[in-house]
Structure 1
Amino acid sequence: MQKFFVLALMGILLFSCKPYENTKIRKNQITYEDFREKQRLYPTDDGLIKYIDEGKSEKVIVLLHGVPTSGWLYRKMIDLLVENGYRVIIPDMLGYGSSDSPEGFELYNAENHAKRLLGLMEFLGVETWSHAMHDAGGLWTWELMRMAPNKIENLIVFNTIMYEDGFYPPVRMKPGGMAKTAMWAYRNGVTTNTLLKNLFKQGLKENTLNSLDVEGYKKPLLEGKTEAMYYFFSQTCNELPDYSDVFENVTVPVTVMWGIHDTMLQWPPQETRAANALKVNPEDIHFIDEKHFIQETKAEEIAYKIIDFLGQTN
């Protein structure tokens, strides 16, 4: 009888809370399988990194994801940027998306993420580039700018991590058994749907995603990509690094595109401090009518804002 109730509970968790609301598939919608077929391979000492590299222009833009997403987050922006004359590079950072997820803890700190990203750009023969980042991708970017301050020519700041003020992650864990059990549940289908449903509920004004959209977020989790998440939720969320010294030395043009209804990364509590630190012009701060995942519902709007911004700086 007990076994029956356990199985019934697992069934409820697995099937009763789909993380998408819309079942209608959009015309010409890309599948995660198609997205993965476009990815290329970069071998590192820590594991294999997959990345998108589209367009042949000398004007390069990197689009960097956060946690627990991957390059899939930017799928709706690629063609528009390429059509407007950009080479678009979108990595799945180690531990996310299609990239490897080796066992380890410090493998996933900001310093190691930054080193691997610099290695990728060297591998691709790209000396300097424009750079957009989202969520924890900001931490990896600040670390990269500390290591190599002359690599990024223009900076596009989506809802990203800068200060404790405004940082309200949906999950904070202590390292150890409970956190590891939570990761096990995420990757074994027990609470995967629950995690994603809550994420999109907090991250979108209205969850209009369909099954193909969610597949690109769900499949990596079910493939076991939780090592990097474990580091982020149990370490980074509890001890946020201080990058004040990096902000002080930012000299490149900066634009901010922020989902103003975001509850996880809020702009108002850090508005003055962040704008002053990045030395961003008021006209280059754009508030987007969305919560956290502006790339999902406002992809065209922010892509054109990027094009306009880079057109003014080049």
Structure 2
Amino acid sequence: MKALRTNDDRFENLKDWPYSPNYLDDLKGYETLRAHYVDEGPKDAKHTFLCLHGEPSWSYLYRKMIPEFLDSGARVVAPDFFGFGRSDKPVDDADYTFHFHRNYLLAFIEKLDLKNITLVCQDWGGLLGLTLPFEMPDRFNRLIVMNTTIAVGRPAGDGFNAWRDYVANTPDFPVGGLMKRSTPILTDEEVSAYDAPFPDGSYKAGVRRFPQLVMTDPAMEGVNTSKKALKFWQEKWKGKSFMAIGMQDPVLGPLAMQWLNEQIKGCPSPMEIADGGHFVQEWGAEIARSALKHFGDI
């Protein structure tokens, strides 16, 4: 599998990002690729927060939540999907499939032997991450979920269709510019950090592919896996949950999240971030503190 690797110098001195990189290059099934992840806090902590980013961001998205989790005494692990962040970026669009990414996460969790996991997810971090606990239920005991869904082959609406078409027709679309438009509170330094993984369009196969992979038709790859996950959340989930919603998200906002709230057994009423958009982690310090208080960690 041909892949590109973003030079380290593009990640130097990023705003509010003091974390040393960690890499895996021997994951079963991914031996030719190097995966990057953040791993902070004590390895024997009572709780491990597994933070999964989405499209077109990377683990930098969690920079406002990570310090709050660490202050509670927890371990925080935040991997970059292949094609994003500091992880290697396969250049062939066809290499990106639902199970390519999902199996990576399963192998990653097993390699690090993560336990007592609090799953923290949004966007594709949820589309993929919410399908993991039914596969390894003994490893997960809590959930923080934001602006995402479980995709089981239903149409996603005009807003998502317009986004999918835009990406399909803009192969080198400006990632930082998109983040700024959807999250106007970002500074120029933060916009640059979101652009850092992508020196040019050849690094953006993952960015191009993720919107096309969302399961909006019942015949698409990942639907059956997601249906199993949905049943797990509806019937078998026994852990604590916390939901936060960026209310300005035009696609995965209040209506989509209310549906998801009803699917997660025991999920309490969501926290609403009135000014928050799709990338609601940009209001993450407040969300993290509220979730920790809900869980009784602080």
TM-score, normalised to structure 2, is: 0.78
What is the number of residues matched between the two proteins? Answer: 266
Q: Structure 2 CA distance, aligned partners of 1:244 and 1:233?
A: 19
Q: Which has the larger radius of gyration?
A: 1
Is 1:197 the counterpart of 2:166? The answer is no
1:15-62 CA distance string (max 9 Å, x none): xxxxxxxxxxxxxxx942884861110113251111100100231111
Aligned partner of residue 271 in structure 2, secondary structure = strand
Residue 270 of structure 1 and its aligned partner are, at CA, apart by 5.6
Aligned to 2:272: 287
Q: Which structure has the highest helix share of the two?
A: 1
- For residues 275 and 209 of structure 1, what CA distance do their matches in structure 2 show? 28
TM-score after normalising by structure 1: 0.75
Render the CA deviation track for 1:207-261: whole Å, top value 9, x for unaligned: 1222211111112122543121222123326547532331221213222111112
1:254 to 241, 256, 277: 241
- What does the per-residue CA deviation read over 1:143-168, in whole Å, with 9 as the maximum and x for residues that have no partner? 32343333321111111133547663
Q: Among residues 118, 121, 145, which one is paired with 1:130 in the alignment? A: 118
CA contact (8 A) 1:63 1:91 kept: yes
The answer on whether the counterparts of 1:166 and 1:269 sit within 8 Å (CA) in structure 2 is no
92-101 vs 33-42, greater mean Cα deviation: 33-42
Structure 1: distance between partners of 2:133 and 2:95 = 19
The residue number in structure 2 matching 1:51 is 37
Aligned pair partner of 2:88 in 100, 109, 116? 100
Q: What is the aligned partner in structure 2 of residue 66 from structure 1? A: 54
What one-letter code is carried by the residue in structure 1 that aligns with 2:204?
Answer: T
Mapped to 1, the partners of 2:257 and 2:115 lie a distance apart of 32
Q: What code does the residue aligned with 2:228 have? A: D
The one-letter code sitting in structure 2 at the alignment partner of 1:159 is N
Contact 2:149 2:260 in 1 (8 A): no
Match of 1:305 in 2: 290
Q: Which residue of 2 aligns with 1:227?
A: 205
- Cα distance in 1 for partners of 2:241, 2:132 equals 16
On the 8 A contact 2:47/2:116 being kept in 1, the answer is: no
Q: 1:235 to 1:166 in 2, by over 3 A?
A: closer
Structure 1, 262-271 or 62-71: larger mean CA deviation: 262-271
Tell me the amino acid that sits aligned with residue 112 of structure 2: L
The one-letter amino acid of 2:251's match is M
Name the aligned partner's letter for residue 83 of structure 2. Answer: G
Which of the numbers 211, 216, 229 marks the counterpart of 2:193?
Answer: 216
Q: Pick one of 151, 162, 172 that aligns with 2:164.
A: 172
Q: 1:35 and 1:300, CA in 2 relative to 1: closer, same or farther beyond 3 A?
A: closer
Name the CA shift for 1:295/1:49 in 2 (closer, same or farther; >3 Å). same
Choose the corresponding residue for 2:252, options 255, 258, 265: 265
SS at match of 1:228: helix
Secondary structure of residue in 2 paired with 1:222: coil
Residues 172 and 238 of structure 1 are in contact (CA less than 8 Å); yes or no, is this contact kept in structure 2? no
Secondary structure of 2:197 counterpart: helix
Secondary structure in 2 matching 1:47: coil
SS at match of 2:163: coil
Partner of 2:4 in structure 1? Answer: none
